[in-house]
């Protein structure tokens, strides 16, 4: 138990420290490990050692702590993460992750981009996401701006096929909806790659800072060819992830209104890149998106714009998203490894959950919608 379930022990100890108490019904570390193993695996605490070491006079406190730990161990479906291999032998290439001398990106609003220019493979992701207070059961990979989107999907399908748990279970692939090759690309995704559940094209354009623009022009959302491509997309069983700034949300919401049967996702809480300096404009844009019942808000990416994050900084955004979209149309996404520049996976889950439980007053069922069921439904996992 000590070697296999050390993280469980650490988690239980952390819970008790957070509550400023040491459980008197547990007399030693081995008891902690037996107890944690039984809680997280649904077995009885029938160990001879545990029975003889347990202080029976504290059964009430025993039950309270058991309930507290059971409540902590939630299941998570991560609706937004990335994987990449920068190995020369990998046919999937990423121009933005190359050295600056080779044309790679030199800046990213999430932080030190050089820290991202290394392999981030499935084992790295699962290592980051493993914690005793939650259980990652499924995940969705969102396109990471590979040079060739088909090669990226092949790379991800291979990863899914080669691990017994099937991570990632869904793929949001790239497509330029204004491309003359769009129909061929969508046919390929639909018929050859069953894990492709949706499409994303980065559309965020800023008039304030050219570094914030991730597209070559500002008018895609109103461009006739692009809109024809969007209409074509709606004829497939694929969702679309909107990656837009608040100033673009009126146009995005018009598209959502025109295609009420389309499944649309708003990435990263609507990219509030200007922070508290433009909070009201962000709220107004979010209101337009929330008015369209086919738009789901992805609770992700906030620490990209709040590097020195705290619960107090993040809470206003999370609470406003919950108010506008309701828990029925919000879902958790880690945005790892990008958000890893500023936060650990455990911290991310805990602060989002803390805000949901203690600030928004969400029920257990509502939290399960956000952390699990909405992603399963949206991406048809």
Q: Per-residue pLDDT for 126 more than 70? A: yes
Residue 47 has a pLDDT of 41
Can you tell me the mean pLDDT for 22-28?
A: 46
pLDDT band at residue 19 using 50, 70 and 90 as cut-offs: very low
Whole-number percent of the chain with pLDDT over 90: 76
122 vs 6, higher pLDDT? 122
Best CA proximity match to 333, nearest among 272, 244, 288, 266: 266
Q: How confident is the model at residue 274 (pLDDT cuts 50, 70, 90)?
A: confident
Over residues 26-67, the pLDDT tens digits come to 445 445 544 554 555 544 444 444 444 444 444 444 444 444
| Token reading at 175 | 């497509």
pLDDT reported for residue 21: 40
Token readout for 228 is 């024809």
pLDDT in tens, 133-185: 899 999 999 999 999 999 999 999 999 999 999 999 999 999 999 999 999 99
Asked whether the whole model's pTM tops 0.85, one would answer: no
Residue 356 has pLDDT above 90, yes or no: yes
Rg (CA), the chain: 22
pLDDT for 10 beyond 80: no
CATH topology for 75-378 is TIM Barrel (3.20.20)
Mean pLDDT of the chain: 87
Domain positions in the chain are 6-72, 75-378
All residues at 6 or more sequence positions from 86 whose CB lies less than 8 Å from its CB, including other chains: 94, 97, 117, 118, 119
Q: How many CB atoms lie within 10 A of CB 19?
A: 12
Candidate from 63-67, 209-213, 214-218, 254-258 with smallest mean pLDDT: 63-67
Lowest mean pLDDT among 57-66, 257-266, 372-381: 57-66
What is the C-alpha separation between 178 and 158, in angstroms, rounded? 29
Residue 275: its pLDDT value, please? 76
Strands annotated E in the chain: 74-81, 134-142, 170-174, 196-202, 239-243, 264-266, 295-299, 330-332
CA distance 377 to 381: 7
Contact 212, 182 (CB under 8 A): no
More confident residue, 368 or 14: 368
User: How confident is the model over 99-108, as pLDDT tens digits?
Assistant: 999 999 999 9
State how far the alpha carbon of 126 is from the alpha carbons of 105, 120, 123, 376, in Å: 26, 10, 5, 19
Q: What's residue 38's pLDDT?
A: 52
> What is the average per-residue pLDDT within 212-239?
96
Name the residue with higher pLDDT: 356 or 27: 356
pLDDT higher than threshold 90 for residue 191: yes
Between 186 and 17, whose confidence is greater? Answer: 186
Residue 277 has a pLDDT of: 78
Residue 6: is its pLDDT beyond 50? no
């Amino acid at each position: 138990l000590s070697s296999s379930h050390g993280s469980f022990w650490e988690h239980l100890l952390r819970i008790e420290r957070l509550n400023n108490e040491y459980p008197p019904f547990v007399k030693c570390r081995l008891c902690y490990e037996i107890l944690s193993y039984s809680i997280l695996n649904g077995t009885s605490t029938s160990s001879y050692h545990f029975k003889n070491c347990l202080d029976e006079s504290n059964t009430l406190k025993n039950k309270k702590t058991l309930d507290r730990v059971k409540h902590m161990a939630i299941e998570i479906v991560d609706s937004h993460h990335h994987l990449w291999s920068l190995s020369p032998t990998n046919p999937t290439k990423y121009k933005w992750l190359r050295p600056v001398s080779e044309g790679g990106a030199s800046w990213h609003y999430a932080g030190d981009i050089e820290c991202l220019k290394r392999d981030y493979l499935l084992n790295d992701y699962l290592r980051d996401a493993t914690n005793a207070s939650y259980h990652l059961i499924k995940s969705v990979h969102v396109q990471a701006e590979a040079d060739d989107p088909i090669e990226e999907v092949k790379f991800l399908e291979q990863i899914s096929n080669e691990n017994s748990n099937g991570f990632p279970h869904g793929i949001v692939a790239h497509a330029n909806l204004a491309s003359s090759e769009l129909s061929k690309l969508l046919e390929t995704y639909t018929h050859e790659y069953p894990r492709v559940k949706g499409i994303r094209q980065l559309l965020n354009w800023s008039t304030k800072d050219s570094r914030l623009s991730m597209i070559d022009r500002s008018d895609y959302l109103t461009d006739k060819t692009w809109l024809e491509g969007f209409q074509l997309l709606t004829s497939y069983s694929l969702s679309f992830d909107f990656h837009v700034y608040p100033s673009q949300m009126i146009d995005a919401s018009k598209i959502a209104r025109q295609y009420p049967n389309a499944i649309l996702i708003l990435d990263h809480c609507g990219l509030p890149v200007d922070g508290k300096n433009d909070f009201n404009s962000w709220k107004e844009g979010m209101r337009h998106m929330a008015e369209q019942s086919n738009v789901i808000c992805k609770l992700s990416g906030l620490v990209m714009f709040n590097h020195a994050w705290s619960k107090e900084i993040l809470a206003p955004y999370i609470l406003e998203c919950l108010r506008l979209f309701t828990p029925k149309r919000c879902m958790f996404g880690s945005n790892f490894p990008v958000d890893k520049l500023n936060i650990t996976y455990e911290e991310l889950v805990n602060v989002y959950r803390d805000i949901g439980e203690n600030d928004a007053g969400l029920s257990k069922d509502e939290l399960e919608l956000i952390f699990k069921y909405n992603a399963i439904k949206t991406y048809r996992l």
